Amino acid sequence: MSLGRRSLKDAHRIVVKLGTHVVTSDGVALALGRLEGLLASVAAFRRAGREVVIVSSGAVGLGMQVLGLKERPRSLGLRQACAAVGQGHLMAFYTQALAASGIKAAQVLLTQEDLGDRDRALCVRTTLMRLIELGVVPVLNENDSVSVKELVEHQRAHGQPGVAPAPAVFGDNDGLSARVAISLDADLLVLLTNVPGLLTANPKDDPDARRVGEVAVVDEALLAMASGGSAGGTGGMASKLEAARLATSEGTAVLIANGTEPDILDRALEGDDVGTLITGTETRGARWRRIAVSERRRGALIVNDGAMRALTTRKASLLPIGVVGVDGQFEEGDLVEVRDGSGRVHGRGLVNYGSDACRALCGKQSDEIETVLGWRGYDALITRDNLAMGAV
């Protein structure tokens, strides 16, 4: 067993993306038995203390089934309508299936822009981290009923009339799952599809095509092995490799595997030689190094001795009551220093409130935030998962 495969046994925070051909049996109807098996594995991981986030495709296909449509809609508006109808049914299934194993589920609908905007990405991360801490399995999907990019790219990829060709882009939630994995500093992103992984050639053209078991990086030669999209979804192997390149560049390993195989998640996390593992060259924690060394600091929060001890020894969040002063002008989501009374920098983090709000909250209890500001966003000025201590 390679070192990369062995490391999968220790993966703690895992994002699992379920492609259309995994979620459905024919691009439309839910593959009930297969999904129940996958969710049983997810529930077992969660009970064992692992943190799991699901990114699921399939809403459009399921909406087609509910609406009685026989052919995949070519109209963007009709595809959005199918997504709106199908998403509720899809989430109901996840909720019930996970509940049968004693696990709660939460629906989170996102657009690519939610993770591209600083403030919105911070809110998404905070929400997902809170759900994980509560033992919940978040189930994410692109909000296709209002987000047109993925649906338009499906039309482009399949040559539908009225839509100009476009260069390859993330599709079928591949890119979304990679961005979520990065946002959460996940150890592993599992992209489940209906093929065994990256192959050396198209098996239709080359009967001797072999599965690529493990690679360090996604380069142009690797991308050249993959082309085209999937018939039912918007993604393809090229999309998955692009997502893998993004995720591994930030320290998250990626496994592309066949989600139709029995016990695939259990086997993968036992280190079995399944799928294509892309280990990357970056180590997990790249995000925290950027927080620690970034030159784009906008200000500082000065904290008292008690708060500093809580931050350094108990890994606590920075609450308003521990802050005695604010330096500089900054906005919500900016990077600020954490200093003691002498001016020494002990850490850096992404702040949940702007500088004026922080000044008003100095020394206050968290339950006073709404009284002071007239609204309440977060209990902490900097939540622990957005704080890097020891940065000097």
Is 18 strand, coil or helix? strand
Q: In angstroms, what CA-CA distances link 145 with 111, 156, 164, 329?
A: 10, 18, 22, 38
Q: What is the model's pLDDT at position 376?
A: 87
Residue whose token pair is 């909406």 = 63
Amino acid (1-letter code) at residue 100 = A
Q: In this structure, are 177 and 253 located in the same domain?
A: yes
Distance, in Å, from the CA atom of 12 to the CA atom of 270, rounded to the nearest integer, reads 13
Q: In this structure, are 133 and 161 located in the same domain?
A: yes
Q: In this structure, are 306 and 201 located in the same domain?
A: no
Q: Which two tokens stand for residue 196?
A: 């065994």
Overall number of domains in the chain: 2
Q: What is the model's pLDDT at position 235?
A: 53
Q: Give mean pLDDT in consecutive 10-residue pieces for the chain, a chain of 392 residues.
A: 88 95 88 96 96 94 92 86 93 97 95 77 87 95 66 46 36 84 92 92 82 90 69 67 91 95 96 94 62 72 96 92 96 92 92 95 96 92 88 50
Q: What is the model's pLDDT at position 172?
A: 59
Q: What is the model's pLDDT at position 11?
A: 93
Q: In this structure, are 231 and 315 located in the same domain?
A: no
Q: In this structure, are 294 and 280 located in the same domain?
A: no
Full strand arrangement of the beta sheet holding 299-303: 323-328, 299-303, 335-339, 345-350, 387-389
Q: In this structure, are 275 and 306 located in the same domain?
A: no
Q: What pairing do the DSSP bridges indicate for beta strands 345-350 and 387-389? A: antiparallel
Distance, in Å, from the CA atom of 202 to the CA atom of 208, rounded to the nearest integer, reads 9
pTM over 0.95: no
Task: Give the residue from 327, 332, 328, 309 showing the smallest Cα distance to 380.
Answer: 332
Q: In this structure, are 128 and 71 located in the same domain?
A: yes
Contact between 284 and 187 (Cβ < 8 Å): yes
Distance, in Å, from the CA atom of 110 to the CA atom of 131, rounded to the nearest integer, reads 16
Among candidate residues 265, 284, 303, the one where a domain is terminated:
284
Contact between 217 and 43 (Cβ < 8 Å): no
Distance, in Å, from the CA atom of 291 to the CA atom of 384, rounded to the nearest integer, reads 13
Q: What is the DSSP string of 326-388?
A: EEE---TT-EEEEE-TT--EEEEEE-SS-HHHHHHHTT--GGGHHHHHSS---SSSB-GGGEE
Domain of 371, in residue numbers: 289-389
User: Which CATH number is 383's domain given?
Assistant: 2.30.130.10
User: Which CATH number is 155's domain given?
Assistant: 3.40.1160.10
Among candidate residues 284, 311, 328, the one where a domain is terminated:
284
Contact between 302 and 328 (Cβ < 8 Å): no
Q: In this structure, are 328 and 265 located in the same domain?
A: no
Distance, in Å, from the CA atom of 389 to the CA atom of 291, rounded to the nearest integer, reads 10
Among candidate residues 237, 263, 284, the one where a domain is terminated:
284
Residue whose token pair is 């009551």 = 321
Q: In this structure, are 141 and 173 located in the same domain?
A: yes
By the 10 Å C-beta count (0-12 exposed, 13-18 middle, 19+ buried), 345 is classed as middle
Q: Which two tokens stand for residue 264?
A: 């695939």
Q: In this structure, are 359 and 216 located in the same domain?
A: no
Q: What is the model's pLDDT at position 158?
A: 44
Is 98 strand, coil or helix? helix
By the 10 Å C-beta count (0-12 exposed, 13-18 middle, 19+ buried), 107 is classed as middle
Is 55 strand, coil or helix? strand
Q: In this structure, are 171 and 125 located in the same domain?
A: yes
Q: In this structure, are 171 and 142 located in the same domain?
A: yes
